[in-house]
Amino acid sequence: MAAPAPRTALVTGGAKGIGAGIAGRLATDGWRVIVADRDPAGAAPAGGRYVVCDVGEEASVAALVGSIAVAEQRLDALVCNAGFMIRKPLGALSLAEWSAVLTTNLTSTFLLVRAAEVLLRAAKGAVVTIASSRARMSEPNTESYSASKGGLVALTHALAVSLGPDIRVNCISPGWILTKGPEPTEQEHAFHPAGRVGRAEDIAALAAFLVGQESGFITGAEFVVDGGVTRKMIYPD
CB 194 within 8 A of CB 176: no
147 in helix, strand or coil?
A: helix
Q: Enumerate residues 6+ apart whose C-beta is below 8 A from 155.
A: 106, 109, 110, 129
d(CA 12, CA 103): 14
DSSP labels, 25-69:
HHHHTT-EEEEEES-TT--PPTTSEEEE--TTSHHHHHHHHHHHH
d(CA 222, CA 27): 24
d(CA 175, CA 225): 6
d(CA 168, CA 14): 21
Q: 20, 76, 120, 145: which one is catalytic?
A: 145
DSSP labels, 73-91:
S---EEEE---------GG
Q: Is 50 a catalytic residue?
A: no
Q: CA-CA distances (angstroms) from residue 194 to 70, 80, 176, 190, 219?
A: 44, 26, 12, 8, 26
Q: Looking at the annotation, which residues are catalytic? A: 145
